[in-house]
Chain A
Amino acid sequence: MLLARCLVWAIALLASFAAADPQVITTDEAESVISKSSHTNNWAVLVSTSRFWFNYRHMANVLSLYRTVKRLGIPDSQIILMLSDDIACNPRNAFPGTVFNNKDQAIDLYGDAIEVDYRGYEVTVENFVRLLTDRWDEDQPRSKRLLTDENSNIFIYMTGHGGEEFLKFQDAEEIGSYDIADAFAQMHEKKRYNEIFFMIDTCQANTMYERFYSPNILAVGSSRIEESSYSHHSDMEIGVAVIDRFTYYTLAFLENINRDSRVTMNKLFDEFTYDNVHSNPGIRTDLFKRNVSEVLITDFLGNVQNIVLDNVEKDILFNSNHNKQEATDNNETRPVHSYSKIDISIDTEDSNELTKIAPEVQRAMGVGIAGLVIALWVIAKDLA
């Protein structure tokens, strides 16, 4: 009796094992989950929108990010730099031909290798919208156009003076948040981007990205509605503020990133605290499919190429250059003809393959067998 019970238990256990679905996670998978981005090229659009000497820091913001983006690998042909005023050659500049972003004047951002695409009064709302939607005359030069396609990741950075749902351009006009949202919608319609990373450093910056409605956009703003963004420090020799807080902390973080870095975006966002920035930065991720902790910074700010190895097919050039006659005449033996054996399956009904059972059916069968055996056990108890 006891033996019979044990036997039945054993059979029931085995049956349940057959029904179970073992799950094994390797340690490699558990460690770092980086979602793969499907982009193949990177573009950057860096815009400064304000005029006059006392807005020195806005030019410095943009030029610092230009330098960073170039250092991380994006070529000049894929960077659109829009500087609304010429600060380096301003008559009030005590150090003519230079732009600094720190009072230690360690790095001259203006240098001799910068390529400015839109300068001075060319930086207007109309030109910016035209740039995004690519609606130009035939004679617009290539260096001034955003020639992206559906595999491009674009980093868009805007800085200047802004307010609730507007950004002031050139002290004379403004761009509304709806305008940018509609421009992005047009870009999405025409598949002109894979993902956009939108960063804006102005007062009440978060209001500018609230109106976006196209997918795959990650947006970061430096301050909330009714809040101002602050400058970081002034250089006493130059006489004006040289960098904004939000951009200063962004740059400080990005200085530690190099071209093949595997650091993710959420580490950058961790730098934006109230103590650092003195305002409440905002991040909008609801339009962005991937999780921010799985996105590499170099997906947007770098230019990491997708490589394919070991994929060389032989004799292609030879085959294009010859035809059969020439090959046999010259006794060439290189080309490999594709010989194949033909398998004709006349009757496909009775084959000797093991039949495959779907996992749900397996589970059902396991549960069924276990139940049957338990029922038998119960009945046997009663009968005995």
Chain B
Amino acid sequence: MTETESENGLKVQNQEVPESDTIAYIRRLIVFIVALTVLGLGYPVLQFTTAIYRADLPVDEITSLASTLHNDISFKIPVYLDIPTTLDVFIPDSQEKLNQFVNSKYPELANFWSLDLKKITPGIDPEIDYVVKLVQDENENGDDAVDMSPFSKETTLKVSQNWIDSKLVDQVLSSVLVDMVFKEEISELVSIINNRAKELDKNIVVPYSPNYNLVFSLLVENGRTVKWDIETALKQMKPFLNKLTHYTNFSISTQVQYYSKTEKPVVFDEKKNAYILKESDLSTFINFGDWNLNTHDMDPSINFLVYFPESNYENKPWVIDHLDNGAFLVKQWGGVYIFNKEKPILEGYDVNITELELIPILEIFTSQLFQLLGLATFPKSPSMRVDTLTRLTLFKNLKKTLENLHSLVKLTVSLNEISIPDETKEHVLKSIELVKLAISEINQKQNYHNSMTISSKALTISDRAFFDKEMVQQAYFPNEHKMAVFLPLLGPVTSILAIALIKILVSFKTGLKKKKAD
């Protein structure tokens, strides 16, 4: 019973009608049902609709593949021995000796890389497969014993009677194969396996890509017309580029640019009657701002510049200090050759750089291209070098693919607000499938060309998986602000619910107290 003052000053007693039990019960029921809905239905819906979609990636498979790559691959390079049939029995013994030699000298290569000695059959072509020809040597000394063909993959070994008598021929054969023919390949493989850090000077090689643009530019310092027979000269390069079709694809383009001056003027030396370029100036010789060297293409470019200075018209050459030829290589970019016309140019005639003058320039460019692609320097034969490059790049590609996938997995674990779309998962699975296919091509068929093409596809797809456009961490707001953004929705709902629940609790407690008092 409470007392209140009404308007005309009379005291009025308000009777509090106690709530009927059913109404109180209904009120409590409503609150509980609302609470249940909010917690049972609302909360999961909120989580579900604001969760970031993350497809699950085959993490275990990736880590296991990455760690056992070295053990999964087994290179068995066939080497055919051209020996008379009477000495066939020599082959299994030499094979054993060879295996022992390789494994003792390079234990990392055990079960990974080995040579498979076989007897030569009539269909074997030394341009395609390795052949070792053993011939009897007339003179007894060891001079000129090994002759590695500079054209094909053939090696001729002159065996002297001395060696046959002391049963040293298989040792000689092992030594020739491991320490000469395959020396560079083995040392590169060992350094890749050991993950040896790249030395500063080895940054010459352009990173691998399935497509390259080869751009040959003639830069003329002034505006007088200069012609060059580059198209006919480039036909000479075609055989070499054809050897690499399984490895990568080259698109060749050429251009001529006029009014291409260097940024720093070159100094004229009276004594030598030539313009001298210091070696330290070469680092900033290429004037990227003025010369148009941009290919506007996604694929990497290897540029070869031929620079035609104006002083050619005065018959004064441009010479790089301390060098015979005016050529230098720019790491991971291309090469430059400074062209000096040997014979004086007649008045009124336009210069034409003939094919004959271009061939030595192309020789220099080919040598630079070899270095830029990462071809080995030792066995002279280009076929042998291309073969070595195929195997090395194949291994490096597979390794890089698995590293990419592993980085992807690491990323998804460390940044848990990044979404992982289904496309990424598909690309990852496809990439793993291609890696396994490439490994089986090596192990079962020793088909390096096929495996190389498959490995480059695997690398491209793994890159696509990593760089999927949906994987941007940015939602409409950063995750720290999620609660702040949803507060206008959640605030009123939770506050009303909380207050109602507290009221019920309080009335319950007072009800209990009353009961106790009674």
Query: Which chain B residues numbered 353 to 378 have a C-beta less than 8 Å away from chain A?
Result: 359, 362-364, 366-368, 370-371, 377
Contacting residues, chain A, for B293 (C-beta < 8 A): 75
Q: A-B contact count, CB below 8 Å?
A: 214
With A and B bound together, what is the CA distance between A160 and B349 in angstroms?
A: 58
Contacting residues, chain A, for B407 (C-beta < 8 A): 189-190
Do B150 and A338 have beta carbons less than 8 Å apart?
A: yes
The 4 closest A-B pairs by CB, nearest first: A75-B288, A320-B240, A306-B331, A40-B332
Among residues of A, the one whose C-beta sits closest to the C-beta of B414 is A185
Instruction: Decide if A351 is an interface residue (CB 8 Å cutoff).
Output: no
Do A305 and B330 have beta carbons less than 8 Å apart?
A: yes
Among residues of B, the one whose C-beta sits closest to the C-beta of A313 is B367
Stretch of A95-103, A123-131, A360-368 with 4 or more beta carbons under 8 angstroms from chain B: A123-131
Instruction: Decide if A381 is an interface residue (CB 8 Å cutoff).
Output: no
Contacting residues, chain A, for B285 (C-beta < 8 A): 305
Instruction: Decide if A231 is an interface residue (CB 8 Å cutoff).
Output: no
Chain A residues within CB distance 8 Å of chain B: 36, 38, 40-41, 70-71, 73-77, 125-126, 129-130, 133-137, 142-143, 147, 149, 151, 176, 178-179, 182, 185-186, 189-190, 259-260, 303-324, 327, 335-344, 346
Do B145 and A342 have beta carbons less than 8 Å apart?
A: yes
Do A317 and B240 have beta carbons less than 8 Å apart?
A: yes
Contacting residues, chain B, for A340 (C-beta < 8 A): 145-146, 148, 180
Contacting residues, chain A, for B176 (C-beta < 8 A): 342
For chain B, which range describes its interface: under 10, 10 to 19, 20 to 34, or 35 or more residues? 35 or more
Interchain Cβ contacts under 8 Å between A and B, 8 examples: A40-B333, A77-B296, A130-B469, A135-B472, A186-B411, A308-B330, A309-B320, A337-B150
Chain B CB within 10 Å, residue with most, of A318, A337, A342: A342
With A and B bound together, what is the CA distance between A319 and B150 in angstroms?
A: 6
Q: A195: shortest Cβ distance to chain B, in Å? A: 14
Q: Which of A76, A182, A344 contacts B415 (CB 8 A)?
A: A182
Instruction: Decide if B175 is an interface residue (CB 8 Å cutoff).
Output: yes
Do B366 and A317 have beta carbons less than 8 Å apart?
A: yes
Q: Which of B142, B240, B294, B474 contacts A75 (CB 8 A)?
A: B294
Q: A148: shortest Cβ distance to chain B, in Å? A: 11
Contacting residues, chain B, for A318 (C-beta < 8 A): 363
Query: Which chain B residues numbered 316 to 331 have a C-beta less than 8 Å away from chain A?
Result: 320, 323, 325, 327-331
Do A341 and B145 have beta carbons less than 8 Å apart?
A: yes
Contacting residues, chain A, for B404 (C-beta < 8 A): 190
Contacting residues, chain A, for B296 (C-beta < 8 A): 77, 142-143
Knowing A307-B330, A308-B328, A338-B150 touch, does A179 contact B474 (C-beta < 8 A)? yes
Contacting residues, chain B, for A306 (C-beta < 8 A): 203, 283, 330-332
Do B468 and A135 have beta carbons less than 8 Å apart?
A: yes
Among residues of A, the one whose C-beta sits closest to the C-beta of B377 is A313
Contacting residues, chain A, for B180 (C-beta < 8 A): 340
Do A151 and B203 have beta carbons less than 8 Å apart?
A: yes
Contacting residues, chain A, for B379 (C-beta < 8 A): 338
Do B280 and A149 have beta carbons less than 8 Å apart?
A: no
With A and B bound together, what is the CA distance between A342 and B367 in angstroms?
A: 28
Do A179 and B466 have beta carbons less than 8 Å apart?
A: no
Q: B45: shortest Cβ distance to chain A, in Å? A: 27
